[in-house]
Amino acid sequence: MCLMMPSHSYLSFRIAITAKSGWFTSVFLLVLLALPFCNRAYGDNAKKPIVVTTVAPITNMVRNIGADYVTVTGIVPDGTDSHTFEPVPTDAKLLASADLIIVNGLDLELPTVKLAEKVKGKETAILQLGNRALPREDWRYDFSFPREHGHPNPHLWPNIALAMRYAEIIRDGLIELDPAHKEGYVANAAEYLSKLRKLDKAISDCVRSIPENNRKLVTYHDSFAYFAPRYGMKVVAAIQPSDFSEPRPREVIRIIKQIKNENVPAIFGSEVFPSKVMEQIARETGVKFVDQLSDDELPGAPRNSFIGMMANNMTIMTGALGGNSDCMANVDTSNISPYP
């Protein structure tokens, strides 16, 4: 039991009983001192903290660790190119109401971060996961993200070791925001990290099942720059230029030569980035074209999770490159319960 009463009501009530009886006032004050007052910070009877996120993988991680202790809203719609996403006025209102804003960072969501800095509350932190998970000297630059443009490749999360760092940073951020539920966040994060460790091992097993000469990636969007070195794969080429347009004919010719020289068995596209150029490259090289990989769009139920997205990716990738496509059969892709 706890007591919560506005100060003017308490004062009126005290004056009323004082007029009736002095001894009753004394008893009342003793009882009042014995009762704990309700905590107006985040707690069992308070409004849940509002956490605003961006891309779907990060939103899913926060929902797994935050569970029903927080209200989580992702502002980048599924199937939307996160690099070119521009927030709308309703997003400004949502960001202004946030108690915590969690983004990937590494310049992925610059328009959203700039807007958040203008409209957020003074006490609201912006947690940039990638900037905290990876030292600046380890940021990667490549064809799609050239160093001279100053924006690194931001796709850290397909590397599950870095996804685990994301989970730890999210846990700590939620605890700082809402210490009343520290035990819950710690327990949820521990369960989620256990799932990620099993996913990490399963991905390694998948890659080992692929013939060594086939462990090569040609993708439309350069989403696997941090994934490849962890799991012993080589990124031969990424098709999409840094301005997120289609490549020029000269670049297409160069990529075709690379694919032939490297004897790449398959090339990979994405439903988020449909490209006729990929189909052309596949025809001219005679390799298989698979357009179902995803870096930030979650699959439907029952695999509607970040872990499910990566499990789907590995099933598709491994099968297309000549490995064991059943390598993800035992991975738990479910979300932690209760999942909001």
* CATH number, residue 183: 3.40.50.1980
Instruction: Clarify whether residues 246 and 130 are in a common domain.
Output: no
- Residues whose CB is less than 8 angstroms from the CB of residue 162 and which lie 6 or more positions away in sequence, other chains included: 133, 134, 156, 226
Instruction: Clarify whether residues 59 and 182 are in a common domain.
Output: yes
Number of domains composing the chain: 3
d(CA 215, CA 220): 17
Instruction: Clarify whether residues 189 and 75 are in a common domain.
Output: yes
Instruction: Clarify whether residues 69 and 158 are in a common domain.
Output: yes
- Residues whose CB is less than 8 angstroms from the CB of residue 213 and which lie 6 or more positions away in sequence, other chains included: 263
- Per residue in 318-327, pLDDT (tens digit) is 999 999 999 9
Say if CB 14 and CB 37 are below 8 A apart.
no
Residue 167's CB is within 10 A of a number of other CB atoms, namely 24
- Per residue in 74-110, pLDDT (tens digit) is 999 987 888 889 999 999 999 999 999 999 999 999 9
The confidence score (pLDDT) of residue 12 equals: 36
What is the strand order of the sheet 234-238 is part of? 234-238, 216-219, 266-270, 288-293
Q: Is the pLDDT of residue 6 over 50?
A: no
Rounded to an integer, the average pLDDT of 27-55 is: 59
The confidence score (pLDDT) of residue 321 equals: 98
Which of 184-188, 274-278, 293-297 shows the lowest mean pLDDT across its residues?
Answer: 274-278
Instruction: Clarify whether residues 192 and 215 are in a common domain.
Output: no
Rounded to an integer, the average pLDDT of 26-42 is: 38
Instruction: Clarify whether residues 58 and 33 are in a common domain.
Output: no
CA 263, distance to chain mean position in Å, is 34
Give the end of a domain, one of 166, 197, 228: 197
The confidence score (pLDDT) of residue 272 equals: 66
pLDDT range class, residue 1, cuts 50, 70, 90: very low
Provide the domain limits for residue 95.
Answer: 50-197
**Token pair 């004062």 in the structure block, residue:** 11
pLDDT range class, residue 24, cuts 50, 70, 90: very low
Instruction: Clarify whether residues 97 and 143 are in a common domain.
Output: yes
Residues in the chain, overall count: 340
